[in-house]
Amino acid sequence: MEQQLNYQGIDYGSGLANIDHETRIRYGVIPANDVGQAWFDESEAIFDGPYCPECGGDVIEYDDDDHKQYRIGAHSCQDFACNHCEYVFDSEIAYHEQPTCFQYERDGYICEQSGDDGDIFIIKSKYYTYAQFCSPCAPGAGHLCNPLHHKPPENKTYCFGHSWFEDEKAPYTVYSVKTNEIINQ
């Protein structure tokens, strides 16, 4: 286990991907279930759209004065039109039924979890830790489930503060981005 806590991993992002280029701090990656209820309570579901239900293309608001020949959908209120497949349809079918991602952008954090993935990406935070590089799945990011005991500067990784966890204690050492001091729970 001690070897795991000292192995930095491989930077598959070559210092270019999943990193804040201004601060040189890596994006943090952590499973939503490891964070707990705080993420599920605080993050906001994002529903992308509108999009065309026929071809998936981008749409415009439909204008009855447009003399282009569109196909009108059945029982349509005619809210949107797709210029690609020339279909007019109701706003009820213009949006995904499931969220495409979950986001949190408050309190100095910018975080996102894609709809199909259980991992949260911490893109900005007031806090950081030192974590092993992620696998090629998140090149250049730091995996917060694999904290490091030593402090290689290239492994500085954004993280959540203690208050995000069920027992008010992060599973890694938390540092302040502003002061570089350890933040106790």
pLDDT tens string 74-124 = 656 788 888 888 888 887 777 777 788 999 999 999 999 986 678 999 999
Whether 149 is covered by a domain: the verdict is yes
Whether 185 is covered by a domain: the verdict is no
Tell me the C-alpha to C-alpha distance, in Å, between residue 15 and each of 5, 27, 136, 145, 154.
21, 11, 13, 20, 8
Q: Please tell me whether residues 116 and 88 are part of one structural domain.
A: no
Look at residue 1 in the predicted model and tell me its pLDDT: 40
Whole-model pTM: value is 0.79
Whether 159 is covered by a domain: the verdict is yes
Q: Which domain holds residue 163?
A: 2-46+99-176
Q: Please tell me whether residues 112 and 89 are part of one structural domain.
A: no
Q: Please tell me whether residues 129 and 105 are part of one structural domain.
A: yes
In 10 A of CB 78, how many CB atoms?
16
Residue 68, C-beta contacts closer than 8 angstroms, at least 6 positions apart: 86
Whether 181 is covered by a domain: the verdict is no
- Residue 110's DSSP bridge partners are 124
Residue 78, CB half-sphere, CA atoms under 13 Å: how many?
A: 9
Split into its structural domains, the chain has a count of 2
